[in-house]
Structure 1
């Protein structure tokens, strides 16, 4: 599971850095919020989850660990795509607002599940 999270995080890092380079080169920083969310939620949080699995969570049932992984990835992807569409002006906020809210709650659910796994299964 640690490798899955690290690989996902590194994938987000590539996308986030590419977006950052594009913004710098074009001098169009309209996707700054999207870039920040890709780097923090996609890269940093996924990477930290991977480190948690590697260092402390070897005993987590595979089904629970996979559920947490896919909850985080689903929520993150929907949130990032929604933010991109919002700040590119592709979809109006009244339509995207609820989608972004639901995606945020999904990401939050993934964090809650990580906390539960850490409390129940972390090595001391």
Structure 2
């Protein structure tokens, strides 16, 4: 799982930097919130999860770990896409807002599962 999270972290890092470079070159910083979520939730949190798996949850490929990975990826991708639509003015807040709420809860559930896995690992 550590490698999966590391690879997705690097992918989000590249995506975030591309968006940042585009904003700087175009002098249009309307996607700053999207860029921030890509870099923090996509890159930093995924990298943090990779480190946790490597250092405290080695070899954990249990169902809970796979579920946690999928929740994090789904929540992050959904939030990033939704924020892009919102801040790019492709979709009104009244329409995309509830969708963003759902993906936020999904990402939160992934974080809670990580906490549970760390607690379980500490007990063994």
- Flag whether TM exceeds 0.5 (same fold): yes
The gaps in structure 1 that reach 5 residues or longer are none
The residue that corresponds to 1:64 in the other structure is 64
Q: TM-score, normalised by structure 1?
A: 0.96
Question: CA RMSD, aligned part only?
Answer: 1.4
Contact conserved, 1:86 with 1:93, CA < 8 A, in 2?
yes
Q: Which moved more, 1:98-107 or 1:54-63?
A: 54-63
State the alpha-carbon separation in 1 of the partners of residues 12 and 52 from structure 2: 18
Residues 14-33 of structure 1 correspond to what in structure 2 (within 5 A)? 14-33=14-33
Runs of 4+ residues deviating >3 angstroms: none
Contact conserved, 1:83 with 1:100, CA < 8 A, in 2?
yes
The gaps in structure 2 that reach 5 residues or longer are none
State the alpha-carbon separation in 1 of the partners of residues 24 and 38 from structure 2: 16
> Are 1:43 and 2:39 matched, yes or no?
no
How many residues of Structure 1 are paired with residues of Structure 2 in the alignment? Answer: 124
State the alpha-carbon separation in 1 of the partners of residues 107 and 79 from structure 2: 9
Residues 85-104 of structure 1 correspond to what in structure 2 (within 5 A)? 85-104=85-104
Q: TM-score, normalised by structure 2?
A: 0.96
State the alpha-carbon separation in 2 of the partners of residues 122 and 59 from structure 1: 15
